[in-house]
Structure 1
Amino acid sequence: MHRFRITLVSFILLLCTEEVHSLSLIAKVDKTEATLQDHIILTLSVEGTQRIGRPDLPPMPAFDAMSRGSSTRMQIVNGQITSGVDYNYVLIPKKKGIFEIGPATIHHKGKTISSNKITLKISSADTKPQSTKDVFITTTVNNKSPYVNEQIIYTFKLYRRVKIANASLDNPSFEGFRVESLGKERQYEKIINGRSFLVTEINQALFPTREGTIEIRPAKVQCEVVVRTRRRRGFFHDPFFDDSFFGFSRTESKVLHSHPITVEVKPLPAEGKTPLFSSLVGNFTLATSVSKKKLEVGDTTTLTITIEGKGNIRDAHSPEFPSLTHFKVYDDKPTLTVQTSGNTFGGTLTIKKALVPLKEGSLKVPALAFTYFNPARERYELCKSTPLVFQVLPPSNKEKLHLVEALGTTTSKEEIKILGKDILPIRTSLSALKPYGMNPLQWAYLVFFLLPVAGYVGFTLIKRRRERWEEDLAYARSKSAVRNLNKKISLIKRYIKSEDSSEFYRLTSKALKDFLGDKLNMTGGALTPIEIEGQLQTLKIKKEKIESLKMILNILESGQFAFQRHSRKEREELLNQVRGLVKWCDKTIKK
């Protein structure tokens, strides 16, 4: 126990030596000049300590910044200990120009430490013809001067002659348009200037919602391009080894941009526009039908109104319905079905109304009508249904109006007499109101009835838990974390008596990190105490518990490299502390 305390004190002193050195923050980039299709790696290096929070980035309106994690460093040179941590970011340029980045800042013990500034020059994208590149994107529209609400087709294409990975498409916001999908993407090959490209094409229907000039901003694709590299000439220089199987490759991050598109949206013409205009632009039809035309007074028939066509079908609504004095009308909820045919968006709006005739005779429902604008013919067109005529008959089973007759005017009182008995006996005393309990046979029936229900509920709960276990990886890892750790502890116990104490500390450290990785759904073996602390702080774990966990992790790390040997009792005590901490973590950290 005495040697264990000496080791703990010495390790704490080792950590405290970090504070002796002055802290500094250094900003570095992998390049100072780039194009709009490149990205820049920004590294903020904290020198002098590892126990510090993430620096505050300066405002960078000309860039999108994404975190790429952190790494820690520690060196011992001539007995002098230096340590630090690097925070990495990816900067994606949004516009060209010369920009000054910085300074970034960190706050430590009431002091603010600033980094150096960096100047970056961003130029336009590569001006070489697109077809000469190995990977590029294009965006087009089939009509740059549509009418308001007229469909145009926006086409995105990704061309590539090399392998790419981790590609993500950032579509523009399409401000001023309503957007509809035109089905799944498709892939095909295309020859451009004798070069073969694999093309991924995505089509969308755009409906301009206002007139005037609207700009569609560039699309953006971030991806990793696989670049083949050749080895230097040597003993194995032979065409055989130029085959892709023996090729060496690396990846380069690329940001691909398309060009902006300007669309001039024309207003709908005033000539020919009537109050019947429905706001529909495209090509549409109107039809009506009824469930029956011959019925009786009080019967119900269903009127179905169908508007079908290609265009902005989502703006469709019921035509103006006439006032019917000889019918009661009950509206149902309209249903809209959208569909695509090739690169055209459209669908069907179905409106149903229940009609109840109030009088007999030949009753008529007038024709329904609306107009829409046909952009192909550049004129308004009329859609009109046919009138409906109903033959209404008088009701076949009239109810008698005299349902109650006066049987007499005698109001003299008479004694109540029992005239007869039915199947069940008539109760004449209050004992009939007394509650009765369930007999054993009734209880057996109840259990027999409820047993299948309980079995079904139990089976459903087990099935749902199994499905979540299979589909939710984070849940499965969290639930199996303690079981996996206990298996590893059974192996660790063998090294309590072993003379090689470093193996005990190595296995215990790995087991504890793997446990935390399972609970946090992270790669446990790669976690550092600093990263674990950051993750636990986001879960609002108590500070004293986090400090206890850090202390045990640091003891396990130092124990792997300590020269003195630790006793069996010291190892057992440390393992018990690990077990207690694991038990607390399992109850507190929920995924």
Structure 2
Amino acid sequence: MKYFILLSLLLARIVFAGDVSVQLEVNNNNITTQDQIELQVQIHGTQSASEPRIMGSENFLVEEAGSSSQIQMINGSTTITKTFQFLFTPKREGEFTIGPAIVDVEGTEYKSEIIVIKVSKNQEQGNGHAPQDKNVFVEAVVDKSSPYLNEQFIYSFRFFTQVGLANANLDLPEFNGFWKEQLGEQRKYTKNINGVTWQVLELSFLLTALRPGKITIEEARLFGEIAVEGAGRRYGHSLIDQFFGSRYAERKRVQLITKALNIDVRALPGEKPDDFSGLVGNFTLESQTDKDTLKMGESTTMTVRLRGSGALENATLAAQENDEFKFYDDKPTLEKNVGTAGVISTKIFKRAIVPKKEGQLTFPPVTLTVFNPSAGAYQTIQSQSFLLTVLPGDKDDINHTMLQPLSSKKNVELLGQDLMPIRYSLDSLNNVPLGQASKLALIFIILGLPCLYATLHVVTARQVLFKGNISLARKTKAAKEFLSSHKTLIDSPKFIEDSLNMLKDYLGNKLNLDGRAITQFDIERILLPYAISETTIRETKEILDMVEKSQYGGLILSSDVRNKISDKLKILFEKYEKEMRS
């Protein structure tokens, strides 16, 4: 009987495997940008299929909605069905193909048919004003629509609500053509519009135009579920939930879309001055010294503050050395303050000044040529000059005792005898017997000391080299740290965060940059000078985009997805090692 049951199970398995099929279904294939598709992948004939891979899903925000299995036995016939459910929210309008859905059953791939989805634009999206029939809306605004090349301006995304939003996921534009930097954390406040009070969540970015011409900032999209107040349970899983959590009875999935913004970037006018610093903004220069009276051989420190509403990351000071002074620059620091007037940056330079002669000396002002957008013209700004009084150095500070003749030579005085007899010539060692162990020790010392010296010399030279060259030290450890982190990545409870940091730290060490500050929008600008292939740059941007979106919600990572991300990171690492070596 046991053998009969086992044989029956084996035969059933073979029959089921031979009848495997995959079916793809949606509840609607003609939707607007604010609708959502319920998609099912049904696998008939087996329960051992892998999680489906759905082709063409890159144009949608995809959320897993669960899975189920069903076994039916009717009149001796067994039917097995496994169903995976997903929610697809369109990112943009257009006609898109979803599918095929692909599953793996014991090494064999099975595919479904494809489905065409038409997505039309919602007529109410992105009007920038409070709608009369809705409890939530979004807008995107900039403080300047016609900035100059290299001029900074602020982009703000604002979410207005009266009821809250659950399971939120924000899809920001890529800001192609701009340098982007987030301005602090999101800000929450209230605003009255036409007598109605709205709660507002604002996220702002500092943008710098990198090329002249007309550039479009694409729509920003906020996906989530509108919450209707009632006696339901409390939800608070997402970033926005933490601000607007309340008790909900029902939810309705929505997609809130801002308008695209057209930015007209103006080129700098006229011919640039020869001493143009490249800085664009409204700036001031201030300088001061820690002392204005000093002696020959002493130095004073001049502090220069360059302050204004513009990008100062690449700002430098011109040399000032002349016949009266020499100077030494320290590493500058940069501070940024966000206020109601925008972003004010301050770069602080420290310059040690050493006079070359005595007397009343005038140190010249620091000058800098910038472009002032408010005036629409090039301007030369300068700090104040200052007068230095340089006194003669004190000769009494010299230690004359070092110059005095030595006192009369003293006779050598015998203080005591050594315990062992003192040998006064080499001949006295000829008759000293050496045992076998002593001979081996002597040979080891004679042969081993040069090897030990050579080893210590190499180690010391390596330490000195790394200590003096931080960049080389970082490059050397980049691969080792990446591989060490990658070994434990797949089991990490912070998989997304660790994936992001691992790749950014590797690139930062390899290129001697602040890796954690790198975003997908910086990759091309940073890597092109290193002759990295376009394919590798594109793949890096794609994986950063995928991991960053996962980090901010909206995606549930299965084990297959985790393995896929881990494998992609390893392949990228190998490409960088090969391309940077060549």
Larger mean CA deviation between 111-120 and 208-217 belongs to: 111-120
1:1-80 map, 5 Å = 6=2, 10=5, 13-14=8-9, 17-21=12-16, 22-60=19-57, 62-80=59-77
- The equivalent of 2:335 in structure 1 is 337
- In 2, the alpha carbon distance for the partners of 1:258 and 1:18 equals 53
Residue identity over aligned pairs, in percent, reads: 32
Offset at 1:116?
A: 2.8
The match for 2:202 is 201
Match of 1:85 among 82, 85, 88: 82
Which residue of the other structure, out of 359, 362, 365, is the alignment partner of 1:364? 362
What secondary structure, in the 3-state scheme, does the structure 2 residue paired with 1:17 have? helix
Conserved 8 A contact 1:18-1:82: no
What per-residue deviation string (whole Å, max 9, x for no partner) do you get for residues 516-537 of structure 1? xxxxxxxxxxxxxxx9999999
Q: Hey, what's the Cα distance between the residues in 2 that align with 1:34 and 1:255?
A: 12
SS in 1 for 2:309: strand
Q: Structure 2: how far apart are the matches of 1:227 and 1:147?
A: 45
Any gaps of 5 or more consecutive residues in structure 1? 231-246, 409-413, 432-471, 476-530, 541-591
Q: For residue 121 of structure 1, what is the aligned residue in structure 2?
A: 118
Aligned partners of 1:282, 1:532: CA distance in 2, in Å?
50
Q: For the residues of structure 2 that align with 1:163 and 1:394, how far apart are their CA atoms? A: 74
Provide the rounded CA distance (Å) in 1 between the counterparts of 2:62 and 2:83. 16
Q: Name the structure 2 match of 1:239.
A: none
Give runs of aligned pairs for residues 468-487 of structure 1, distance below 5 A. Answer: none
> CA separation in 2, counterparts of 1:539 and 1:298?
60
Task: Quote the Cα distance in structure 1 between the aligned partners of 2:80 and 2:305.
Answer: 74
Equivalent pair of 1:276/1:369 in contact (CA under 8 Å): no
Give the deviation of 1:195 after TM superposition.
5.0
Is the 1:29–1:43 contact (alpha carbons within 8 Å) kept by the matching residues of 2? yes
Distance 1:15 1:116 in 2: 30
2:346 is matched with which residue: 345, 348, 359? 348
Q: Which amino acid aligns with 1:17?
A: A
User: Relative to structure 1, is the Cα distance of residues 317 and 19 closer, same or farther in structure 2, using a 3 angstrom cutoff?
Assistant: same
Q: Which residue of 2 aligns with 1:101?
A: 98
1:304 matched residue in structure 2: 303
Report the 3-state secondary structure (helix = DSSP H, G, I; strand = E; otherwise coil) of the residue aligned with 1:386: coil
1:168 lines up with 2:169 in the alignment: yes
Q: Report SS of the residue matched to 2:303.
A: strand
Distance 2:359 2:386 in 1: 14
Contact 1:312 1:346 in 2 (8 A): no
Contact 1:154–1:203 (CA<8 Å) still a contact in 2? yes
Alpha carbon RMSD of aligned pairs, Å?
Answer: 3.9
| Residue of structure 1 in register with 2:268 after alignment | 268
Task: State the match for 2:519 in structure 1.
Answer: none
Stretches (4+) displaced over 6 A: 531-540
Amino acid at match of 1:278: S
Deviations 1:17-52 (A, max 9, x none): 243231111111122221112222221110111012
Measure how far apart 1:418 and its partner are.
3.7
Specify whether residues 198 and 389 from structure 1 end up closer, same or farther in structure 2 by C-alpha distance, changes over 3 A only. Answer: closer
Q: Give the letter for the 1:263 counterpart.
A: I
Distance 1:341 1:102, change over 3 A: closer
Superposed CA deviations along residues 53-105 of structure 1, whole A, max 9, x for unmatched, are 23342335543545445332223334433222222333232332333433333
TM-score (norm 1): 0.61
Aligned AA (1:358): K
Distance 1:193 1:317, change over 3 A: same
Separation (CA, whole Å) in 2 of partners of 1:535 and 1:384: 56
Cα distance between partner residues in 2 of 1:389 and 1:12 = 103
Q: In 1, Cα distance between the equivalents of 2:565 and 2:378?
A: 61
Shift, 1:175, TM fit:
1.6
**What is the match of residue 394 of structure 2?**
396
Structure 1 Cα separation of the partners of residues 298 and 323 of structure 2? 16
| Distance (whole Å) between structure 2 residues aligned to residue 474 and residue 204 of structure 1 | 30
C-alpha distance 359-112 of structure 1, shift in aligned 2 (>3 A): closer
Residue 288 of structure 1 aligns with an amino acid whose one-letter code is S
Closer, same or farther: CA 250–335 of 1 in aligned 2, 3 Å? same
**In the superposition, relative to structure 1, how do residues 405 and 355 fare at CA in structure 2: closer, same or farther (>3 Å)?**
same
From the CA coordinates, give the structure whose radius of gyration is larger: 1
CA offsets, 1:386-445, max 9 Å, x none? 32332222221354599375999xxxxx9x954486xxx7867579xxxxxxxxxxxxxx
Q: Report what 1:285 is aligned to.
A: 284
Q: Report the 3-state secondary structure (helix = DSSP H, G, I; strand = E; otherwise coil) of the residue aligned with 1:51.
A: coil
Gaps of 5+ in 2: 232-246, 423-490, 495-557, 568-582
The alpha carbon displacement at 1:250 in A equals: 2.2
Q: Indicate how the Cα distance of structure 1 residues 332 and 221 shifts in structure 2: closer, same or farther if over 3 A, else same.
A: same
- TM-aligned CA distance change 1:106 to 1:166, over 3 Å: closer
Contact kept, 8 Å, 2:48 with 2:105, in 1: the verdict is no
**Alpha-carbon contact 1:74-1:82 (below 8 Å) kept:** yes
Contact 2:91 2:221 in 1 (8 A): no
Scaled by the length of structure 2, the TM-score of the pair is 0.62
| Matched positions, count | 413
Could you list the per-position Cα deviations for residues 94-119 of structure 1 after superposition, in whole angstroms to 9, with x for gaps in the alignment?
33233343333335467553323323
Supply the distance in 2 between the matched residues of 1:12 and 1:24 (Cα, whole angstroms): 24
